[in-house]
Amino acid sequence: MTAHTVSSSSSPHRYVIIGNGVAGNQAAEGLRDRDPEGQVTIITNSRLLFYNRYRLPQLFLGHQDWRELLAHSVAHYQQRRIRVRRDSRVVGVDAVRRQVLLAHHEPVAYDTLLVATGGRWHLPEELADGRHLLHGFGSYEQALAVRDALPDRGTVVMLGGDMIGLDLARVLLTADCRVILVTHETTFWPHLVSPEQRAGHLACVQRMGIEVVDGDAMGGVVAIEPGSAGLPARRVRFRSGGDLYGDVVMPFYGLTPLVEFMVGSGVDIERGLLVSPMLRTSDPRIFAAGDVCQIWSEQAHAYRFYYGYQNVRAMGAVAALNMTGGDEHFSTTQDETLGQDAQGHIDSPFWVYD
């Protein structure tokens, strides 16, 4: 039952972390502190070392070299002997053999595994055909692609409008862009907002300078198309027949946990990986942390997601403790209320990071 063997020098314990975000990197540091002899490996799809995606909107405030986004120096990884396998896609986890399988047909053996893959931008099924015409905002490369596609004083159409999108919108406005928000049930995700609060918040959004289009009233978005000659590059069509033009159309419908590769591993999955408050999955050697997991809440008597920089970082720390024999429960002090600032603009605790 126990996976809590701390390394001996003859056989270092192999900790493998899938995911190179806040949770994964926090866990890696914790593991190194707790087990100086252990082998710590982060596996990521990205070509870059860990960078803070909360800072991506700043790309629109003048050019920044990607190196300035990096959370840690190269020396950080070297000194802590944290291996980062970049540009490596995980296609499966074999819980019996205790191997992570990479797309290039290489297995990576683990003694204890942490899944911290986070989420990817969600897209309603009816928009799947127009996927290639949309600009995501999940990575540095995607953010730069948006910047390159956006002319001076260009127009960005935001579909949905979760808090990641609204964070970007704030910055785009200061960069003299026009932002059109097409509302959806996911607007303000992951805040849970009642209908009454919603109207007030939307008013705030308009006050900030964002144009708001009531998506539901238009029957919802049905298609994304290339713009015609002389018009902006993208056209958004509504079921009602109306349309909208923008240089860039960005989906902000919240995040979907990145768990496909865990199907077949045998661990319990609902939408995310189901974990105990100690962040252990149904496999004692596999833990999960961050946006990818749903944690059992005694209070709610249900599995639920916990978002936000603070929560995710706390999960990384707890996972590291428990992967090295600890017995810590995840707990949160995260404020989840959407509020307003002095200027009457919306202000979210999820925008806070350090």
Partner 1 sequence: MTDIQIALCGSAGDGTIAAGDILRNAVAALGYRVICFDLYPPEIRGFGKCISRLRITAEQSYALKRQSDLLLSLDDSHAIPLVGEVRDDGAVVYESQPVAHCPEGSHMSGHVAPGQIPYGIPLRELAEKSTGGARSRNLVALGFIAGLLGLAPAAFQRVIEKKFAKQGAGVVARNLAGFQAGFAAGTTTFKLDDVVCAPPGSQPDQGKVVMLSGNAAVVQGCLDAELETFFGYPITPATSIMERLATALPKRGRRLLQTEDEISAMAATIGAGFAGARAATATSGPGLALMAEMLGLATMAEVPCVVFVSQRGGPSTGMPTKTEQSDLNAALYGSPGDSRRIVIAPTNVEGCYRCAGKAFEMAERYQTPVIVLLDLYLSNRYETVTLADAGSPFVLNANKPLRRLETGEIYRRYALTDDGISPRAVPGDAGCMHVITGLEHNELGRPDDREEVHEAMSRKRHDKLLAALQHPDFTVTKRFGHAGRVRVGMLAWGSTFGECLEAMFKAQAEGIACAAMKVVMLSPFPEQAVASFMDDCEVVLVPEVNHEGQFAHLVQGVLARPVVRLSRVPGAPMPVELILGEIRRLARGVVTAVAS
Nearer to partner 1, 68 or 87 (CB): 87
- CB 65 to partner 1: min, Å: 9
Decide if residue 104 touches partner 1 (CB under 8 A).
yes
Residue 55: which residues within 8 A CB-CB, separation 6 or more? 69
Q: Which residue has the tokens 């419908």?
A: 253
Decide if residue 77 touches partner 1 (CB under 8 A).
yes
Decide if residue 49 touches partner 1 (CB under 8 A).
yes
- CB 28 to partner 1: min, Å: 12
Half-sphere exposure for 42 (CA within 13 Å, toward CB): 31
Q: Of the listed pieces 73-81, 233-241, 280-288, 332-340, which binds partner 1 according to CB under 8 A?
A: 73-81
255-292 b/e with 16+ CB inside 10 Å = b? bbbbbebbeebebebeebbbbeebbbbebebbbbbbbb
Query: Could you give the CA distance from residue 316 to residue 29 in angstroms, rounded to a whole number?
Result: 9
Rule CB under 8 A: which of 115-134 touch partner 1? none
Instruction: Provide the mask over 254-293, with x wherever binding to partner 1 is found by CB under 8 A and - wherever it is not.
Output: ----------------------------------------
Nearer to partner 1, 55 or 85 (CB): 85
Closest CA to 17 of 71, 105, 84: 84
Rule CB under 8 A: which of 130-169 touch partner 1? 141, 144
Residue 20: which residues within 8 A CB-CB, separation 6 or more? 42, 43, 44, 46, 49, 50, 84, 86
Length of the chain in residues, anyone? 354
Query: Is 196 within 8 Å of 262 (Cβ atoms)?
Result: no
Instruction: Provide the mask over 79-98, with x wherever binding to partner 1 is found by CB under 8 A and - wherever it is not.
Output: ----xxxxxx----------
Tell me which of 3, 31, 108, 177 binds partner 1, using CB under 8 A.
108
Instruction: Provide the mask over 291-330, with x wherever binding to partner 1 is found by CB under 8 A and - wherever it is not.
Output: ----------------------------------------
Point out which residues bind partner 1 (CB under 8 A): 47-49, 66-67, 74, 77-78, 83-88, 102-109, 141, 144
